[in-house]
Structure 1
Amino acid sequence: MNQPVMGAVDSANLMERLLYEVKRIVVGQDHFLERVLVAILARGHLLVEGVPGLAKTLTVNTLARTMRGSFKRIQFTPDLLPADLVGTRMYNQRTGEFSTVLGPVFANLLLADEINRAPAKVQSALLEVMQERQVTIAGETHAVPTPFLVMATQNPIETEGTYPLPEAQIDRFMMKVLVGYPSEEEEVVIVNRVTGPRIDVSPVAIPEQLVLLQDECRRVYVDPQLIQYAVRVVAATRAPASCGLADMQRYVTFGASPRASIALIEGARALAYLRGRDYALPEDVVDLVPDVLRHRLVLSYEALSDGASPDQLIGRILQALPAPERPLESHVRVAAG
């Protein structure tokens, strides 16, 4: 490469120390934790679906403590107002002037708990801050801290009193991660750890270091063939017939937007960086495809009646579109140089 990843050993050590501290508190959930780190490095946001009690809040809270970052949690309810998220203008009777009170979105890690329990006008209050990393209040623009990650949770088993998320907001989430139950062995460790002596995590990084890691992550090399492959996979969700899946067309009303192609490449960079490489491989892209695409597919009523899920359709697309061959490291060096 023209400029190698700066301090690759130091960066790897920092990520290992950060993961070590988080794993002292959080048991299992390796896939979920990896996706959280990918989202941070790629400057994305996460939509997490799982039943209560699976350490979603604990993971983000612990991560914030290890990086000395600010953490805010918002419990979404039907009576929540947009000003409760972004802030508002307050009138001071003593001075006769208005002052701006910033909301809880001004944090490094923001947890939007049960985001689908608030109406669309509240959910849409997150649109600007998720895309532009800023909030406009009474004509004044206020930037949120960096790094900035929104992690929203949904409960898949309780649908009463919930509202569907607007498509424009769903598309702004880089990935949708499904969090499952721990194994019996992991649950034994969880019980012992929670009921045992208190464990305190040590801060091992500062937000400025993570911003530097984000910049280094952007230097990870991605072969043009991988970009073409990512675009082909995303395009196949809009026109399945293009990859020989004409029978799947009736199941998909709308496919993924170009944001999905961008998320695949940015996520592949971050995943390669976490795995200690300064170049992305086909498996980095393939591993992220379900998480990047599952929430972006709008299925037809026929798909719902036939029991077809987004993950099943994505699996068929991956079978129809094999990933390009893994390049030799020497070829990667020549192409990147």
Structure 2
Amino acid sequence: GATGISYFRLGTAGTAEFRAVSKINPNNIPPDGLPPDTQKRVFQVVTPALNVRTEPSTEAKTLLPSEQLRMGERVEAIATSRTERVGFIWWQHRTGWSAERNLSTGEVLMADISQGLPAPAFVFQRLPLDLNTMKWFYYYGNTVFAFLYGRANNYPGYSQGLHGGLDFGHPGGAPVYAGVNGIFDYSGNERAFGPNRVDVIVGNHLIIYGHVANPIRLARGTPVTPDTIVGYIDNGAKHMHLEIRYDKSNQNLILNPLTYMTNQMFNELNIKFPPVGDFAFYRSSRWERWLTPFDQPTIVRGGPVIGPTA
């Protein structure tokens, strides 16, 4: 397909790999660094791994394994190269061709950021809920919970049938910390994720702390720090929903919050709350995608369902 991890080690390439390399036409791949006068469209990779190919095709012989792109990479594409073929929208860039989106499922692989690049990626400096107080933890994306209960919670209409954040579980009363340096934007009960939610902005990213009690009340634009208490776990909701959105160029993207946490934070969460049982990622004989914490798709808010309930 257009995505996925496909590679070969030095010395193990076979006929198919050499055939792929032999298909490369130097006239079809721009030189390293597009000429200054080239009209460009700028994208950011929003899937864990994005394949590069010699032409806009999903055939194995077109794959360039050594050129695979990773989440967060910036891609400068030739503005006139847009091509619709085999169910994808493709763009040509300096190392080959990559898919922007899947036309049949609506899954976004590269986000168009031509009208403004996102701020440098930030990192949580502390977990929003102290690890030693947490009682359970739901992951982002293709979860068992999303499969079983997503329809009752409007996941198909809101987050493409997937879980659009991380859920930090607690019986109630524990403080919820901002975890980042950011700007206070909103608190109250007029938006989704009641009984209250708090919104904090970091660059072009919006962080939502949902389902909290006693939300912090500040003037809009007031700075917050990682140690700022933005609310408390509600006794009824018994968890806090952490969601990160990125909105540019008419995109409404929901991103995996784990990618904004340190390796130590993730490792501690993963050890204490491994994705097993009711907290696992959904799989079946008919569904074998997105089965690990970081191998999860970027969600288009309000987009078509792309998960196992599609």
TM-score clears 0.5 = no
Which bin holds the TM-score, normalised by the shorter protein? Answer: under 0.3
Q: Which has the higher helix share?
A: 1
TM-score by length of 1: 0.23
Structure number with higher relative contact order (C-alpha < 8 Å, ≥ 6 residues apart): 1
Q: Which has the higher strand share?
A: 2
